[in-house]
Structure 1
Amino acid sequence: MQNKRFSPFVSSKNSIGKVMLDVIIALLPLCAFAFYTYRIWFLIVLGSALGGAILTEILFSGILLKKWRGILDGSAIITVLLLVFTISPLTPWYVAAFGGSCAVLFGKILWGGVGKNKFNPALVGREFMTVFFPLVMSSGDIWSTKRIRYVYEVEWFDFIPNAHWAEFLNELFFVPTGALGEYSAVFLLLGGIYLIFRRRISWHIPAFLLVSFLSFLWIFEDQNLNYSLGGILLGGIFMATDMPSSPSSPTGKSYYGLMIGLVAGLCIQFGAGFEYMSYSILILNGFSTKINQVFMPRTWGTKTDWPKKIEEVFLLTLSVLTVTFAVLSLHYYGYIPYLIYIYIIYIIFKFNFSFSKKLHQPI
């Protein structure tokens, strides 16, 4: 008897679950370092954020999107991990839970679900935490973590005769300062290499981001700018490469990475404080669609109109810089909360009148 087959056939080894699993694997060493340093404190922050995210995923994804098993795809777990990696181990549990909930609701669900978000969900959640709990998130107390550390340093390379090189290598592997995901530059890079090897991300965004940012530092080397290499790597490898909110073409990704590095440098230069990577990535998230249009691959058999292309890139760059300085002005005068309020109103109305009608359309 002949086997009957039905068409069309859709077969893919890159299911959402498998992609998310690879990202989780890449993030596991960072989890190990965070737990190694702060033990129960890390677990409290992670558990609180995860609890808020899972509860929100179950309730709102089920009610609004009719997807009761959305939590199984792993996207909420990755969102929470990235969110937790941007905050202090002393962040109060209720603030972490609030951030996890907002990241999933306002960063993913109200956009229509996984793969449809315009902005990186983890950074959306972090900005909600900053706006609704400003005293907590801006307090120096939550960043004074020496008293709760179980480990202050590693001595893995002390066998090297040159003390300077030994210290340098030790700090590349482990420096327990800053946010929870910034402690190991080496394992951040290894996580990125793993994702590139698995073809979950491309090298363009993190590479061009680093080139741009390091060039900015070289130009303004006498300004004594405060930044975290771990924070730059965390943002460049794991957040800026978020597929739904980043460009798709290699040239678009390269430009996108260059501009994130430049905007991050400007944010540091003009006093954005701890928000420099959040602002830079979220700003460029907003231009992702336009970047795709400007850097659309050339149709086979056609010639590039270079004067027009240069004009488009110039106007795009001017637009990015204009928005950047507008955001920095809002930050300086304390008006960023109003921007978040506008975002909340916009996304709710957008969901009610647009996204909710397209819930069953493919990504």
Structure 2
Amino acid sequence: MPTETINKPQPLYTPFVRARDSVWEIMSDVLLALVPCAAMSYFAYGEAPFLVMFVAVISAVLAEFVFAAFFLNKKDTLKDGSAIVTAILLSFTLAPFTPWYVVAFGAAMAVIFGKILWGGLGRNILNPALVGREFMTVFFPAIMTSGSIWYNKDYLNFKELSVFNIFGDSGLITYLNSLFFKSSGAIGEYSVIFLVLGGVYLLLRRRISWHIPFALLVTFFILLQVFAYKDIRFSVGGLLLGTIFMATDMPSSASTKNGKLYYGAMIGLVAILCLLNDVRHEYMSYSILLVNAFVVPINWAFKPVTWGKKANIKSLIKWVTLITAGIVAATYALIYLHHVDCVRYLVFAYIIFLICRFCFMTMKDIEYPKSN
């Protein structure tokens, strides 16, 4: 072996693991997938949605810089771009005229209570953007449910875009036009077609796998047909935004292929249960965050079989049954809390738990310093 090869510093990888892409490259692909949807928001309400996104990004970046340095003793976390992605995803779930101070609060909470207090990037078990949104809903309920933040005719640029009319004029063409552009809903919901194209791009780039979106949508629409006699109303854009960009968040989703299929199916089930019980606006946030909380047992139940051993189907069925029962029970408990306006106490409990957990881990690290 040549001397220069021996003396050359070797990468700190285990023998069979290679890191080809940095976190920033992954986050850049997510941002690229979101650009078309952001552009469509401009066709709807001009600069207003962009200002919401801008405020969210500034707040998230500042919170990341200050609190990561203070709590985690890390000053270079901004390089991974996760704060920007979290802020954009959060803003995509918001109304275009949400007050800026509420947006800033939500983005900061998304970073602090959705990521930093868990220990940083990759250690969170809940989707940070949805955590921030729930903080906004709990601490600013009147503003978040106000109709004035969702629609303003003085700022409306285009109510509709007739891009498919060149193929004729029919009910199908009208429906396709609505999928391409619809000036209602949250900032990220204006174009179903661009949401799908963003998901396809992430699939081709292998930033997400097909398992979670497939299982979620198949479960959701099968149950939708089962309960077709019910008047279930939902936003296709909101469903796809949650399915493609929220449910597939790597740290807070299942890790194995079979686990991902089950995880996605459970989100679809919880979403339908929420809609059947008149949870009309928070159904995707609730379903994703709730199943996020069950990711650890899901990963354990669907852990890979040790080489040379056979899969224990009976044990798997038992654990899947128990986990499903737990998810359904937790869903109805959450629905009850929603209807009696007590979700706020769940958020308060989450805040106390996370602060206590972080303090305990900090004290443990002080008592038993980690080796470098």
Calculate the TM-score normalised by the size of structure 2: 0.93
Higher deviation after alignment, 143-152 or 230-239: 143-152
Higher deviation after alignment, 261-270 or 298-307: 298-307
- After superposition, the Cα gap between the structure-2 partners of 1:267 and 1:146, relative to the gap in structure 1 and judged at 3 Å, is farther
- 1:40-119 → structure 2 map (5 Å cutoff): 40-119=47-126
Give me the whole-angstrom Cα distance separating, in 1, the residues matched to 2:362 and 2:261: 30
Give me the whole-angstrom Cα distance separating, in 2, the residues matched to 1:296 and 1:12: 23
Aligned to 2:20: 13
Give me the whole-angstrom Cα distance separating, in 2, the residues matched to 1:145 and 1:290: 45
Runs (5+) with no aligned partner, structure 1:
none
Q: Does 1:235 align with 2:236?
A: no
Give me the whole-angstrom Cα distance separating, in 2, the residues matched to 1:220 and 1:12: 46
Q: Does 1:298 align with 2:301?
A: no
- The alignment of Structure 1 onto Structure 2 pairs a total of residues equal to 362
> Helix, strand or coil for the counterpart of 1:221?
coil
- After superposition, the Cα gap between the structure-2 partners of 1:51 and 1:256, relative to the gap in structure 1 and judged at 3 Å, is same
Retained in 1: the 8 A contact 2:151–2:184? no
Give me the whole-angstrom Cα distance separating, in 1, the residues matched to 2:299 and 2:257: 10
Runs (5+) with no aligned partner, structure 2:
none
Retained in 1: the 8 A contact 2:59–2:104? yes
Higher deviation after alignment, 134-143 or 311-320: 134-143
Give me the whole-angstrom Cα distance separating, in 2, the residues matched to 1:173 and 1:286: 34
1:327 to 334, 354, 359: 334
Retained in 2: the 8 A contact 1:111–1:355? no
Whichever residue aligns with residue 122 of structure 1, its letter is: A
Give me the whole-angstrom Cα distance separating, in 2, the residues matched to 1:45 and 1:113: 25
Aligned to 1:270: 277
Whichever residue aligns with residue 136 of structure 1, its letter is: I
Whichever residue aligns with residue 47 of structure 1, its letter is: F
Structure 1 residue ranges, 4+ long, deviating more than 4 angstroms after superposition: 355-362
Among the aligned pairs, what percent are the same residue? 47
Retained in 2: the 8 A contact 1:159–1:166? no
Higher deviation after alignment, 145-154 or 211-220: 145-154
> Helix, strand or coil for the counterpart of 1:84?
helix
Displacement of 1:165 = 2.1
Aligned to 2:3: 2
> Cα RMSD over matched residues?
1.8
Displacement of 1:44 = 2.0
- After superposition, the Cα gap between the structure-2 partners of 1:51 and 1:184, relative to the gap in structure 1 and judged at 3 Å, is same
Q: Does 1:176 align with 2:183?
A: yes
> Helix, strand or coil for the counterpart of 1:345?
helix
Give me the whole-angstrom Cα distance separating, in 2, the residues matched to 1:254 and 1:235: 16
Higher deviation after alignment, 118-127 or 38-47: 38-47
2:192 to 160, 185, 198: 185
Aligned to 2:145: 138
Displacement of 1:5 = 2.6
Give me the whole-angstrom Cα distance separating, in 1, the residues matched to 2:212 and 2:362: 29
- After superposition, the Cα gap between the structure-2 partners of 1:207 and 1:46, relative to the gap in structure 1 and judged at 3 Å, is same
Displacement of 1:329 = 0.7
Retained in 1: the 8 A contact 2:46–2:155? no
1:247 to 254, 257, 270: 254
